[in-house]
Amino acid sequence: PFSGLRFGKYILLKRLAIGGMAEVYLARLEAAAGFSKPVVIKVVLPGYASDPHFIELFLDEGRLAAQLSHPSIAQTFDLGEVGGRYYLAMEYVAGEPLHVVLRRAERDQKPVPLRCVVRVLTQLLEALDYAHDLGDAEGKPLHLVHRDVTPSNVVITYHGGTKLLDFGIARAATQNHQTQVGIVKGKLGYMAPEQ
């Protein structure tokens, strides 16, 4: 039902996932002179579109993610609103989530080669180090902590790279809204030491 549906300057191709607060689509950016680029669009669900607190959290996510520019972090290109629904446009990463790769290796009883494990971990740690050390335009540290570095948020690209996704529940010193005391964001087994 979504294939070919226009959403602002994007054409929605298919829904990839739906969560409690947003849905994610594979889409295509279409621009002048036949320019076309695959992207992923994260759209706030209608039930949250009129919640000012949630919208501010979503906008914080977009502003934060737009500052990240690293080869092992999926890029955020655009933040906007179409018909009362806020969205983020992000890099489409062609590959397999790490949890799928690990499950397949276990099923086939073929361990992931050590050189591949080291490459993935090195690229992931470089991305996290970059994000943690990132400063704002004036050089003030953001103190960014991802808070959900799970195998489902790490994609192994078909070209052998590693991409970290979803800074949606990241914590940064510059955010307009801070997590309330006693509220846990992320999964216990994957929480950063700062949490």
- CA 58 from centre of chain: 12
Q: Is 63 exposed, middle or buried (0-12, 13-18, 19+ CB in 10 A)?
A: middle
CB 44 within 8 A of CB 33: no
Given 51, 108, 148, 166, the catalytic residue = 148
Q: Which residues contact 6 (CB under 8 A, 6 or more apart)?
A: 12
51 is catalytic: no
Count, in order, helices (H) and strands (E) of the chain.
Answer: 3, 9
CA distance 95 to 158: 5
Which of 43, 17, 40 lies closest to 28, judged by CA?
Answer: 40
Identify the sign of the CA torsion 93, 152, 120, 43: positive
Q: Where are the alpha helices (DSSP H) in the chain?
A: 52-66, 98-107, 114-133
Which residues are annotated as catalytic?
Answer: 148
